[in-house]
Structure 1
Amino acid sequence: MFQVYFTCEGKGWGLRTLKDLPKGSFVCEYVGEILTNTELYERNLQSSGNERHTYPVTLDADWGSEELLEDDELLCLDATYHGNVARFINHRCSDANLIDIPVEVETPDRHYYHLAFFTSREVKALEELTWDYAIDFDDEDHPVKAFKCCCGSPFCRDAKKKRKATLV
């Protein structure tokens, strides 16, 4: 149903569907190790060179909560060592063809959920599957620097930043 392939656009590996998918189709779940943001940051500091590629997804499970969680409470899924094909879904600003839906798992502290992907529109066979990682390319204070976006979207948030810099 899916194929991991090397993209031609400089994005590295990607994931595409081998059959047409109607709007609203379940695609897959993002699978990985559950870490706190502090554990992920420490893991990233220990990585170097080619091992520096990580596949984390923040699980801000306090959505809708009035309190802010600290980094040692915030959870993420890291698919770097234990994951599935979802880790090959590339980013695309604003007009991606997948949306992520948190699926809550019943636990005593209600602080954990899975992440499921569904199509946001009809996706044709051999089309790359993309998802908006919701990265703030303007956040200079975040300890993990945003990557250089190569999504190619006319709505690219990183490209707008680059255009603004060249106008100045």
Structure 2
Amino acid sequence: MTDHAYGITMFCDDIRHEVNGKLTLVGCYSSELNFTGPPPGVLPTFAALVHLRFPQETTFETLDLSVIKVEEEETLQIFSSQTKVSQDAFLDKSDAKEDNQSDKILSVVVPIQWAALVFSGPALLRVRAKLDSGVEVRAGSLVINFPTENSEEQLTSPKTAST
């Protein structure tokens, strides 16, 4: 188990909430999203499933989760949510020692969905969680790419055979 808070985000085209409580992630991206045409690029739907993990020793009352889009010189917060967290969500430390549960963690899972997301050029999405204690948790990022002029020329120009 880790002794610090951490987060992981899965970026995808859609999150579907199933009847039996399952979540289905559709069209998952690894570390990059690559548009095939020139900017602007439009994603009709886009989603992120954010997993945050906090060791028992972490104490806070509010959690501020945000997704930030950085394009060239412009930084825009495209999602923000501030949530109060009950200290009852954490195990009582005296009980943890007695029950040998010192490795317990608090897990927070937040699905986020956008109806449409527009990128005017190459960008970076960052997911951050800030605690009222001052701790910032980096929960992942996604690089947004567009083809360069050279890569478009390579795709459209015919290959010449040399003899």
Bigger radius of gyration: 2
Q: Which has the higher strand share?
A: 2
TM-score normalised to the size of structure 2?
A: 0.26
